[in-house]
Amino acid sequence: MSITAKAVMPVTIDSQVQFNQCVTSHDFLIILFTAKWCEPCQPFAAVFAGVAAQYPHIVFAVADIDVATDLVANFRVAQVPALMVIRDRVVVDMVTGAMQVHEFDHHVHMWQSLDMTEVNTHFSQKPAAG
């Protein structure tokens, strides 16, 4: 396991460039889109950080929608809190709304158990000549 995989505190993503770097550097990424003015986001940020500490092999990141405006626009984030889950450079889920610890943990288990074999096979195929 690499040293970067042992980080337990969520990293901050402030731009599309940082997002791209995270996605190309890590196989499993969960991003929380949040805002300082969002009331449900504040308690969920604590839930997010607590669950992140239990999964050191997954990169957890936070993007403030008022800072990472290019990223928010590219993914059309319209509601916070929102979670984007990326496995092997593919967005596999997007969930909106705050969750309790047990709910979020259940989702992380579900995303972790997702078999990426067919997805990776699909994206590794060359397009048919037309």
CATH number of the domain residue 113 falls in: 3.40.30.10
Q: What residues form DSSP beta bridges with 31?
A: 61, 84
Is a pLDDT exceeding 50 seen at residue 7?
Answer: no
Q: Which of 60, 80, 62, 59 is CA-nearest to residue 2? A: 59
Residue 46 lies in a domain: yes
Q: What is the mean pLDDT of residues 105-127?
A: 86
Residue 83 lies in a domain: yes
Residue 85 lies in a domain: yes
From the CA atom positions of the chain, what is the Rg in Å? 15
Instruction: Please tell me the total count of domains within the chain.
Output: 1
Phi-psi category of residue 46: left, alpha or beta, with phi > 0 → left and psi -120 to 50 → alpha: alpha
Which pTM value belongs to this model? Answer: 0.85
Q: What are phi and psi of 69, to 5 degrees?
A: -65, -35
Q: What is the pLDDT of residues 50-101, one digit of tens each?
A: 999 999 999 999 999 999 999 999 999 999 999 999 999 999 999 999 999 9
Distance, CA of 85 to CA of 127 (rounded, Å) = 26
Residue 96 lies in a domain: yes
Structural domain including 48 reads 4-124
